[in-house]
Chain A
Amino acid sequence: MENIYKPFKSKILKIVEQTCDTKVFRLEVKDFKYMPGQFVELSIPGIGEAPISITSSPHEEGYIDLCVRRVGNVTNALHRMNVGDYVWIRGPYGVGFPFETIKGKDIVYVAGGIGMAPLRSSLRYVLHKKKDFGKVTLLYGARTPADLLYKEEFDIWAKECNFLVTVDSDKLPDGKPSGWKGNIGVVTTLFAKLGYSIKDAIGIVCGPPAMYKFVIQEFRKAGMPDSSIYISLERHMKCGVGKCQHCQINNRYVCIDGPVFNYADVKHLPESI
């Protein structure tokens, strides 16, 4: 009988430092099939296991990228590791973004902070299959200019989609000015700058817990029905296979029913967002 909790060994191929607390780790995998929005359980023996969403796109083969902020035991230990070191992973788990349903439609991504990680996977996939989708927009917000992830891809995004970015504050974490010339304000302030109707588009949201309801309000104001909104939810999935109960939201499991949910399906569930 297969052991559903047993991870496999994976080599760290590359590490790209994104911000002072976030790095992208490229891990070697073979025959690893996944969809954007899914996650893996990442293990460091002796430290523990943590669920991490995949940030690369399935069209990239031979590796997966994990964009990791150091906030807990496992992620802190991972940040101390080097290229050539080994970690253990199992997965992929959960259901990702429903590309069959959203094919041919316009997409509006709204990412806040580390919520960029799973959305970057989806965005990368969609831009790779551009002709299968309509107009693509990315609205991205971070706390300060120093917290922006994937800055090296901003030029590509600006070229290939409608990309708007904002920061809550243009001060650096130490309070000094950053020289930021772009938008200032929470991510929802970008809706006013869209300049086209998103009524028939698909809205995809991932960010800190407090962000969802404000973004959903904006979508609704724009005339988008709840069934066109997809949210990727964060929980501490300890087992990843629907048993440990840590990610349970009433009668849904984030690890097997999510992490991507259709908003119309979960809006009646208290504690979901």
Chain B
Amino acid sequence: MGKKIKKENLEKLFADIGKEYKIIAPIKKRENYVFAEVEDFSEIVLDYPMTILPPKEFIMPYKEPIFVFENGEFGEVIPNEKIALFALHMCDVNAIGRLDFVFWNDLYYKARREKMLIVGISCKPIETCFCKSTGANVLTNTCDLFLKAEEDYYVGFSMTEKGRKLLSQLYFGPETVYVREVKIDYDEKLQFDIYAIGKRILEDYNNPVWEETAKNCLACTNCTLVCPLCYCFDVIDETFVVPEEGKRIRCWDSCLLLSFARVAGGHNFRKDLKARYRNVYTHKFRTFVDEFGVPSCVGCGRCTTFCPAEIDMREILFRLGGA
């Protein structure tokens, strides 16, 4: 059961959150949508279809200093900011939940994540969505507060103590609303069983689909950059005039890059793009499932939308295991 909030009262919720947090929410940027810091509620587009980048950059920035070298010592740079991610779709919320599995003992990730507030909101699935297939279409406690859209109001659900505090404010209710289920339900374009595909993906190693797709793939890494669950990283020391004074930087990397599996001396374990492209899938649908029980894909569809070579991940999954 949830509590009703009128559309016009969302601004009060926003203002309340803004007292404590820096708010990141979807806004329009030219013809696309992005997550950005928002100070005025009117900037937010609540019924956005999809943002270019997922909100992962606010938990693990594209480039973040993890150490500063001071007098030859390793000084830690611990983030200390309270961020509220506002109006996230279910897929992006659940992607953060799955990232939590990986980074539970990572000081930098934890420092941001523990201070974070996440407010989810209903979405209207678009053509490229396949969250249902990945099991990311349901509510989890990664979200502190979820706003389910109804005709002319929202129903708020709290999944954490932070969420409960907000739900107890006067702009919610007083009516209690009973909703049977909160999940995103729709007909996906292609049917496939992601777990079955992952299970036999190592046997599908020589499936012609990899060769054929690699021929079109530009290795531009767009798909991994916009993926809410591509989290691999590189660590680089940045120095200025004297090498003793600088920073150790962690930045996003991509397994599609030629250098990714190269070792000292030059040997490259995934020299061919075919192997690197396949690795995106073996990791998402096998390795991650073996590690954490779910795929590292929430079916947000960004990889397909932003691929300049028009490669559709769903078509590849369909060929690997269409129902």
Contact = CB atoms under 8 A, between A and B. Distances in A.
A86 interface: yes
Interface string B234-253: 11110100111110100001
B126 interface: no
B237 A48 contact: yes
Interface in B45-76: 66-67, 69, 72-74, 76
Nearest to A273: B269
Interface stretch (B86-94, B140-148, B156-164, B260-268): B260-268
Interface residues of A toward B: which range? 35 or more
Contacts of A198: none
Given A45-B69, A235-B261, A3 B76 contact: yes
Contacts of B234: 238, 244, 246
A270 to B, nearest CB: 5
B76 to A, nearest CB: 6
- Dominant secondary structure of chain B at its interface with chain A: mixed
A250 B282 CA distance: 6
Interface in A1-53: 1-7, 9, 43, 45-50
B290 interface: yes
B186 interface: no
A208 interface: yes
Interface in A228-261: 234-236, 238-239, 241, 243-246, 248-251
Given A244-B235, A248-B287, A251-B286, A4 B202 contact: no
Contact of B267 (A5, A47, A208): A208
Nearest to B269: A271
A47 B237 contact: yes
A90 to B, nearest CB: 10
Contacts of B245: 46
A22 B235 CA distance: 25
Contacts of A271: 261, 269-270, 275
B105 interface: yes
Contacts of A234: 263, 267
B205 A270 contact: yes
B258 to A, nearest CB: 13
B21 interface: no
Contacts of B103: 243
B264 A46 contact: no
Given A49-B235, A250-B287, A271-B275, A1 B74 contact: no
A131 interface: no
B110 interface: yes
B107 A3 contact: yes
A5 B69 contact: no
B112 interface: no
A188 B69 CA distance: 47
Nearest to B201: A250
B243 A6 contact: no
A49 B234 CA distance: 11
Contacts of B244: 45-46
Nearest to B289: A251
Contacts of A158: none
Given A47-B237, A251-B291, 4 more contacts: A1-B107, A3-B76, A45-B74, A246-B253
Interface of B: 66-67, 69, 72-74, 76, 102-103, 105-107, 110, 202, 205, 231-237, 239, 242-246, 248, 253, 255, 260-265, 267, 269-270, 275, 279, 282-283, 286-287, 290-291
7 contacts: A7-B74, A45-B246, A46-B239, A239-B235, A244-B232, A246-B234, A269-B202
Q: Please give me the 3 A-B residue pairs with the lowest Cβ-Cβ distance, nearest first.
A: A46-B243, A245-B232, A71-B264
